[in-house]
Amino acid sequence: MPYHDPIITERYERGVLCQLSVRAPELARAARPGHYVLAHCAPPGSADPLLRRAIFLAGADPADGTIELLIDPTERGLAWLADQPVGARLDLFGPLGTPFMLDGRTRNLLLAGAGSALPALIFLARVAVANGVAGLLLAAADSPDHLPPPFLLPPDLEYQSNADGPAALIGLLGAPAPGATIFASPIAWADQICFALTTDLVTPAADAVRAGRIRWGRGFAQAAIAGPTPCGVGTCQSCLIDTREGLRTRCKDGPVFDLRDLR
């Protein structure tokens, strides 16, 4: 988990979002879907803002030594980072965290997400489709400009979105209305589900999986949980999340958890 001094090689505005391609060869070789980096979001020598921002990786290409960041500049630290030009050097620490683990038997992968962890699903979709897995991504956000553009995703991946707010993700999952059948849900089709969630969506997502599956084994549903991770190594204990085994740190024990383990 070294510090990196990478350089922005490409910058694009994607609606509200900002896409950065960053040359960081060591990081690109080590990165896996679900990993994140901690970014210093201030000019060199400045400590304002003091805390690093956690950013989920949206992609990595070991061959050309680049990583991709998809940033929603919703607060001043991320806004500063999104405003950096091509050629700017960044201060990143990572890759950090526990990544997604795909079962080698998975052939139909359901991806569903909302919030700042959503870029992790873009990374995962690229890896999965490249390995012959069929995929469907469901994404929800506050507006169309906050949704990942379809061209960032593999052409063979199906993509459905809703811009009525993050909570609309549960409707995309096919949570049954009174009298509806569970077989209308894409959950019944999936061999495995990988989520990107905010903490308030954990329980509704788990309820949707229970409604869509007769059996739900360990490893079937995993979730990357968004939220502040100030230190990244589990020292400050400020990112604790409640699990069946007690409190765990989102930054080190996660950010990817088995959804069955979350409370």
Q: What is the CATH number of domain 108-261?
A: 3.40.50.80
Answer whether residue 184 shows pLDDT above 80. no
* 221-225 sheet: strands from edge to edge: 158-162, 134-140, 108-114, 192-197, 221-225, 256-258
Domain residue ranges in the chain:
3-96, 108-261
Burial classification of residue 111, based on how many CB atoms lie within 10 Å of its CB (0-12 exposed, 13-18 middle, 19 or more buried):
buried
Rounded Cα gap, residues 212 and 28, in angstroms: 36
Interval 97-124 mean pLDDT: 96
- Structure confidence at residue 178 as a pLDDT band (50, 70, 90): very low
Amino acid at position 128, single letter: A
- Domain 3-96 class, CATH top level: mainly beta
- Structure confidence at residue 183 as a pLDDT band (50, 70, 90): very low
* Cβ atoms of residues 109 and 52 within 8 Å: no
* 7-14 sheet: strands from edge to edge: 3-4, 92-96, 36-39, 53-61, 66-71, 17-23, 7-14
- Structure confidence at residue 2 as a pLDDT band (50, 70, 90): low
Interval 1-22 mean pLDDT: 88
Q: What is the pLDDT of residue 60?
A: 97
Q: For 224-246, what is each residue's pLDDT tens digit?
A: 999 888 888 888 888 899 899 89
Mean pLDDT of the chain: 91
Answer whether residue 182 shows pLDDT above 80. no
Answer whether residue 1 shows pLDDT above 70. no
Answer whether residue 18 shows pLDDT above 50. yes
- Structure confidence at residue 213 as a pLDDT band (50, 70, 90): confident
Listed residue (149, 177, 182) closest to 163, CA to CA: 149
Helix (H, G, I), strand (E, B) or coil at 95: strand
Look at strands 256-258 and 3-4 and give their pairing.
unpaired
Ramachandran angles phi, psi of 2, nearest 5°: -80, 165
Q: Which residues, at least 6 apart from 215, have a Cβ–Cβ distance to it below 8 Å? A: none
Q: Which pTM value belongs to this model?
A: 0.93
Answer whether residue 208 shows pLDDT above 70. yes
Distances (CA, A) of 13 to 69, 132, 135, 202: 12, 30, 26, 30
- Structure confidence at residue 3 as a pLDDT band (50, 70, 90): low
Answer whether residue 215 shows pLDDT above 90. no
Interval 129-151 mean pLDDT: 95
